[in-house]
């Protein structure tokens, strides 16, 4: 049974996204029930929320749960977390004052264990001192906040500003963070992700099709488990994950510098980046016009970042990736030894189902002892979780 999330929908324009929030929460594995204020139902519908959650919606004027218990008491006891999305200024004010005036505020006052607020309002309202005081009071009581973000407002003619509700998938990610056991608390995890670009001139470069998804999944999973996470990434199309320190780099040399700089702080390093092994021997300062029928490029080696970490490592656990198209196991194990790693994950880039850019992957994980396990096709996030659990076994107890 998944953990239980009550989505309490407040009466703002962002309530139109509430059914999508339910979808994203369910996709993340949560059991979801919904509550909607009377105003929320001016923007979204009871039928939409009931359809996507698979449960009746708690609405104003319904006093009792099917069990016969008072509805707000039942809901507060049922939910592992109450997500208020969107939360209006009035919802925040009622909760801060303990004014159990409607079903939403009554549920929160009735002892909801964890409350996560996703405010959505015009920037002028969000900036108002009364609203900010209420936010501070709720935070002091242990309530958490997700957003608001800077962005476009629903009402026509309003300028963009700070007050937009986070997107449904971001809210699901925040909920997951709050409901995950913090078995990585006190640890620092350094992750690399994505490709590198090795420039020939300002507009041409050598690179590879790495999407960065595997490394980002590791970074997000480690963050959810309470680690301090540093993500050194090459150019990707992925948004910066919240709660992660991101260090954008472009070339292998830049990644080398950034990773070595942060290595002393790390307890675990996961090198998921597809670092280019070669770079053009020279980088032209200006774009070179094409001439002649042939062009010869001279390439030189980039630093092997992971091999250097292997030489420098003290307490750090090192995880590498290997991409092989043939003789995978023996080549990957030799790589583990050569680079002094604790674990190496073997990928199969030529398998069309799990190739570059896919959301799923399959890995063969080899330990230093030679113990080898094949992890069948699963989401990159699920594989990241397994990898972190395995790496934890190699780590010393936190001091
Ligand atoms: N790696 C690195 N620095 C490089 C190249 C690779 O740190 N310049 C890391 C990758 O992030 C990955 C691991 O080393 O975790 C394996 O990379 P790969 O290129 O497959 O291994 P190589 O040792 O370069 O071996 P081969 O030439 O056989 O591919």
Give the residue whose CA is nearest to atom 8 of ligand 1. 304
Question: What's residue 310's pLDDT?
Answer: 97
Question: What's residue 396's pLDDT?
Answer: 76
* pLDDT tens column, 268-281: 999 999 999 999 99
Q: Is the peptide bond before 136 cis (omega within 30 degrees of 0)?
A: no
What confidence tier does 63 reach under pLDDT thresholds 50, 70, 90? confident
Question: What's residue 216's pLDDT?
Answer: 98
Question: What's residue 70's pLDDT?
Answer: 92
CA distances in angstroms from 303 to 148, 205, 236, listed in the order given: 42, 17, 21
H/E stretch holding 290? none
All domains of the chain in start order, with CATH: 4-178 (3.40.50.1950), 188-395 (3.40.50.10300)
- From ligand 1's centre to the CA of 275, what distance in Å? 7
Structure tokens at 382: 């699920």
- From ligand 1's centre to the CA of 307, what distance in Å? 8
Give the residue whose CA is nearest to atom 12 of ligand 1. 321
* pLDDT tens column, 87-106: 999 999 999 999 999 999 99
Task: Tell whether the torsion through CA atoms of 130, 131, 132 and 133 is positive or negative.
Answer: positive
The ligand 1 atom at the shortest distance from the C-alpha of residue 309 is: 7
Give the residue whose CA is nearest to atom 18 of ligand 1. 322
Structure tokens at 172: 């699901």
Lay out the sheet containing 58-59: strands in order across.
58-59, 31-36, 4-9, 81-87, 115-119, 144-145
* pLDDT tens column, 160-186: 999 999 999 999 999 999 999 999 999
CA distances in angstroms from 7 to 55, 298, 350, 385, listed in the order given: 12, 58, 42, 26
Question: What's residue 399's pLDDT?
Answer: 57
Give the residue whose CA is nearest to atom 24 of ligand 1. 277
Task: Tell how strand 343-347 and strand 360-367 pair up.
Answer: antiparallel
Among residues 208, 340, 347, 361, the one annotated as catalytic is: 208
- Spatial neighbors of 228 by CB under 8 A, at least 6 apart, are 187, 188, 189, 245
- From ligand 1's centre to the CA of 282, what distance in Å? 22
Choosing from 271, 308, 330 the residue with most ligand 1 atoms within 8 A of its CB, the one to mutate for a pocket test is 271
Nearest alpha-carbon partner for 168 in 178, 176, 160 = 176
- From ligand 1's centre to the CA of 352, what distance in Å? 21
Spatial contact of 213 and 239, defined as CB atoms under 8 Å apart:
no
The ligand 1 atom at the shortest distance from the C-alpha of residue 307 is: 7
Burial class (CB in 10 A: 0-12, 13-18, 19+), 131: buried
Q: How long is the chain? A: 399
Q: Is the peptide bond before 165 cis (omega within 30 degrees of 0)?
A: no
DSSP letters along 66-92, please? TTSSBHHHHHHHH-SEEEEEEEPHHHH
* pLDDT tens column, 335-375: 999 999 999 999 876 676 766 788 889 999 999 999 999 99
- From ligand 1's centre to the CA of 276, what distance in Å? 8
Nearest alpha-carbon partner for 84 in 74, 73, 96, 69 = 96
Question: Which residues form the pocket of ligand 1, taking CB atoms under 6 Å from any ligand atom?
Answer: 252, 271, 273, 275, 277, 302, 304-306, 320-323, 335
Distance separating alpha carbons of residues 334 and 313, to the nearest angstrom: 18
Distance separating alpha carbons of residues 235 and 196, to the nearest angstrom: 7
Choosing from 208, 233, 322, 342 the residue with most ligand 1 atoms within 8 A of its CB, the one to mutate for a pocket test is 322
- From ligand 1's centre to the CA of 240, what distance in Å? 24
Give the residue whose CA is nearest to atom 25 of ligand 1. 335
Count other Cβ atoms within 10 Å, centred on residue 68: 7
**Res. 398: pLDDT tops 70:** no
The ligand 1 atom at the shortest distance from the C-alpha of residue 338 is: 23
Question: What's residue 16's pLDDT?
Answer: 97
Q: Which long-range contacts (CB under 8 A, 24 or more apart) does 380-385 make?
A: 380/213, 380/214, 380/217, 381/217, 381/220, 381/221, 383/214, 383/217, 384/214, 384/217, 384/218, 384/220, 384/221, 384/222, 385/221
- From ligand 1's centre to the CA of 176, what distance in Å? 32
Choosing from 192, 208, 272, 306 the residue with most ligand 1 atoms within 8 A of its CB, the one to mutate for a pocket test is 306
User: Which SS3 state, helix, strand or coil, does residue 53 take?
Assistant: helix
Choosing from 304, 319, 341 the residue with most ligand 1 atoms within 8 A of its CB, the one to mutate for a pocket test is 304
208 is catalytic: yes
The ligand 1 atom at the shortest distance from the C-alpha of residue 301 is: 8
The ligand 1 atom at the shortest distance from the C-alpha of residue 274 is: 11
pTM (two decimals): 0.93
Q: What is the mean pLDDT of residues 249-264?
A: 98
- From ligand 1's centre to the CA of 279, what distance in Å? 14
Q: Where are the alpha helices (DSSP H) in the chain?
A: 18-27, 40-43, 46-53, 71-78, 89-97, 103-109, 123-127, 129-140, 168-178, 213-224, 252-262, 305-312, 328-338, 380-392
Which residue is listed with tokens 């970074």? 219
């Amino acid at each position: 049974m998944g953990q239980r999330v009550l989505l309490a929908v407040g009466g703002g324009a962002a309530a139109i996204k509430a059914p999508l929030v339910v979808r994203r929460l369910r996709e993340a594995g949560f059991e979801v029930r919904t509550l909607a204020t009377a105003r929320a139902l001016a923007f979204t519908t009871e039928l939409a929320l009931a359809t996507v959650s698979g449960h009746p919606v708690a609405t104003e004027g319904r006093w009792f749960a099917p069990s016969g218990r008072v509805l707000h008491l039942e809901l507060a006891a049922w939910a592992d977390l109450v997500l208020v999305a969107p939360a209006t200024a009035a919802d925040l004010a009622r909760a801060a004052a303990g004014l159990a005036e409607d079903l939403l505020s009554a549920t929160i006052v009735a002892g909801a264990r964890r409350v996560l607020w996703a405010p959505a309002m015009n920037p002028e309202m969000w900036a108002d001192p009364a609203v900010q005081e209420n936010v501070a009071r709720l935070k002091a009581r242990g309530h958490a906040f997700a957003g608001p973000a800077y962005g476009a407002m629903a009402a026509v003619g309003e300028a963009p500003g700070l007050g937009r509700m986070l997107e449904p998938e971001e809210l699901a990610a925040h909920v997951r963070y709050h409901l995950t056991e913090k078995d990585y608390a006190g640890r620092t995890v350094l992750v690399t992700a994505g490709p590198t670009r090795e420039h020939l001139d300002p507009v041409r470069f050598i690179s590879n099709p790495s999407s960065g998804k595997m490394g980002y999944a590791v970074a997000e999973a480690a963050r959810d488990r309470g680690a301090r996470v540093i993500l050194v990434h090459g150019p990707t199309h992925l948004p910066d994950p919240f709660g992660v320190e991101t260090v954008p780099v472009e070339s292998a040399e830049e990644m080398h510098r950034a990773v070595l700089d942060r290595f002393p702080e790390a307890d675990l390093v996961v090198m998921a980046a597809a670092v280019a092994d070669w770079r053009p021997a020279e980088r032209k300062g200006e774009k070179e016009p094409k001439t002649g029928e042939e062009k010869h490029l001279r390439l030189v080696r980039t630093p092997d970042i992971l091999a250097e970490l292997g030489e420098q490592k003290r307490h750090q656990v090192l995880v590498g990736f290997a991409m092989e198209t043939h003789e995978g196991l023996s080549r990957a194990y030799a790589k583990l030894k050569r680079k002094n790693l604790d674990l190496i994950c073997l990928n199969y880039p030529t398998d069309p189902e799990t190739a570059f850019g896919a959301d799923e992957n399959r890995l063969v994980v080899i330990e230093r002892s030679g113990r080898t396990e094949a992890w069948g096709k699963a989401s990159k996030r699920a594989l990241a979780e397994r990898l972190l659990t395995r790496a934890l076994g190699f780590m010393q107890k936190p001091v």
